[in-house]
Amino acid sequence: MSEDKEGVKFMAGRYVIGGMRMKWAIIAILLLILLGSASAISSANINAGEKAQYIEGIDVSHWQGDIDWNQVYQDGYRFAFVKATEGTNYVDDKFEDNMNNGSSAGLYMGAYHFAHPDSNSANSEADFFISVITPYLKNGYLVPVLDLEDGSSLGKSALSQWVNDFMNRIYEKTGLTGIVYTNSNYANNYLDSSVTQWPLWIAHYRVSEPNTGVWNSWYFWQYDDKGSVSGISGDVDLDHYNGNVQSLYDNFVIHENKPINLTYYDRKAAVGYASRWWNSRNPHYNDYSSSGGDCADFVSQALIAGGLSLWRGYDGDGGGVYSDSNGTIPYCDYLHDNLVKYQDTKFAYVTSSNFTVPDWLEVGDVIIFGDASGDHWKHATIVVYRNGNEVGVAAHTADVWNKSISDFFPSEFDRINYYHINDGKKNMTTIFSVTANALNVRVGPSTDYQVIGTISNGEKYVAFDSYTDSQGHKWWKFFYDDRVAWCASWYTEEISGEIVMINVTSWLNVRSDPGTSYKIVGKAYHGMLFAKVGSEYNSSEGRTWYEIYYSSSVNWIAGEYTSDVPEFNLFLFSIIIALGIITKLRREKLS
């Protein structure tokens, strides 16, 4: 795997001893059966009593030249890792060809980055890596890999921190938990146990079992660097995956449930919110029904439920986000300015003389009615139905649900303003824990914005975006209750844990305790993210409830209406460690 950017191949502390691939694979399997260690490395891996098995793969770079990937597949290989980048400016010239052709041949393909920790920061290398591999961070490809064979001069502690920073950056930017590749020398001598939170791909050649150092188990094992594979000229690295094909897919292949597919604007949430509140007022917000701002206030609330934050207002400095509006923009012209200037939005308008509905208008988008001559922005609505030119909207003031736009236009208004909000992608999912006794929750990332609550020491939430202010302070964007909110990140710490996403059509009741008989304390909408801090099975209901922090207190949601946002499972990893210890003890006893 390892080459420097000038193309000089080298080995960095690897163990290279001679041996035969099949012989050692058979011996390894027999040893696992004999010792009774099923090597169950993931919840979706090998069932109890099932024999351990390996899936065969390879890893390549430009050193292998042109590859006939169809022959590789026919030779029995089902996955491959491909060199993508090195340092902060080198891209392997065979990367795209290998990824595309390998995938077309039927292999699961993944990208790796060769690191130079003693030359560059972790973030700079991770950002460069992501910039190159982004087209392959999609369904059917393997998660990213850090190739660590350099940086021993930093010392164990600093190098381990570099690795953790790199991997956290990958997770922050993509929502994917990557893999660490390293050799037995580094795993034993240059890394500490803090890196064991990441899945291991170990390099140790021609031995019956790899030495994993500070890790107690491995997921991938590069067991030979002089393999022969059909379709490839010369030597090639050979790899095992410690499980079956389904396990490989479940644990390391990107698919639709991965956080990378979380939309930035969740239109299902916006419409779900509108269906709940179109004919009533949410007490989390101010009531503008008597002041002329009710319709824009309602649409603002729906957009916020969908994940948007309107903190920039109409002028970039929060104009129109009033000190008592709880984050909304309650006037139509100001909402228009925010959407076209500060949100990722497509805008068009029509009048009675050229009426049409744009092809791009979707449920969850915004329509503001107005006058062609005079006030262009008078009545804000949210789209809840679309079938050709038939469009239904929800709105306050008149309090309507799925009312046809023909009821407004052209009889009442003769201008329609259309706003399509691009879905986008959440670029991070980070659990944070509050370290302050009381931390203000605000409607924007500055102390100039209204406080809508406080969160306390130990409470846990999920940041899905951040903003760095002019003083260099980073603010977390997160769901505080049914609203997007902001808090100062420097009074929090990032932690690992389990994230759940609300998965409903309309809304989900949040309750004070784990059961439907308990008090409803609020609502949650599709796509909202919360840190799962506990769970409890309600036997009378036959339902598992999840404990979350919602509006600065512990509350509960029904687990069946959520989806897990995949993250490396620390509880499972502890089981793996325990199995590894038991295996070693049994081997010592047998010897």
Out of 3, 92, 149, 297, which one is annotated catalytic?
A: 149
* Distance between CA atoms of residues 320 and 311, nearest Å: 9
End-to-end CA, the chain: 35
507 token code pair: 């809304």
* Distance between CA atoms of residues 229 and 68, nearest Å: 10
Helix and strand tally (H, E) in the chain?
11, 30
196 token code pair: 């064991």
Beta strands in 197-336 (DSSP E): 200-203, 220-227, 236-242
CB 75 within 8 A of CB 58: no
For residue 590, with 0-12 CB atoms within 10 Å meaning exposed, 13-18 middle and 19 or more buried, which class applies? exposed
Beta-bridge mates of residue 3: 9
* Distance between CA atoms of residues 260 and 173, nearest Å: 9
- Cα R_g (the chain), whole angstroms: 27
Q: Where are the alpha helices (DSSP H) in 112-244?
A: 122-133, 156-174, 184-189
H-run or E-run covering 70: helix 69-74
Out of 3, 92, 147, 266, which one is annotated catalytic?
A: 147
- Secondary structure (3-state) at 536: strand
H-run or E-run covering 467: strand 460-468
Who contacts 100 (Cβ-Cβ below 8 Å, separation ≥6)?
none
Our measurement of the distance from residue 72's CA atom to the centroid of its chain's CA atoms, rounded to an integer in Å, reads 32
* Distance between CA atoms of residues 568 and 237, nearest Å: 26
* Distance between CA atoms of residues 294 and 303, nearest Å: 14
Out of 3, 59, 481, 498, which one is annotated catalytic?
A: 59
Q: Is 59 a catalytic residue?
A: yes
Q: Is 92 a catalytic residue?
A: no
Compute the half-sphere exposure of residue 342: CA atoms within 13 Å on the CB side of its CA: 17
Tally Cβ neighbours within 10 Å of residue 471.
Answer: 6
Q: Name the residue among 386, 350, 379, 351 with its Cα closest to residue 365.
A: 386
Q: At what angle do helices 122-133 and 156-174 cross, to 10 degrees?
A: 40
What is each CA distance from 356 to 352, 353, 360, 407, 412, in whole angstroms?
A: 9, 10, 12, 15, 17
Q: Name the residue among 68, 69, 61, 127 with its Cα closest to residue 94.
A: 61
- Secondary structure (3-state) at 418: strand
Q: Is 118 a catalytic residue?
A: no
- Sequential DSSP letters for 296-317: HHHHHHHHHHTT---TTBTTSS
* Distance between CA atoms of residues 265 and 487, nearest Å: 20
Which residues are tagged catalytic? 59, 147, 149
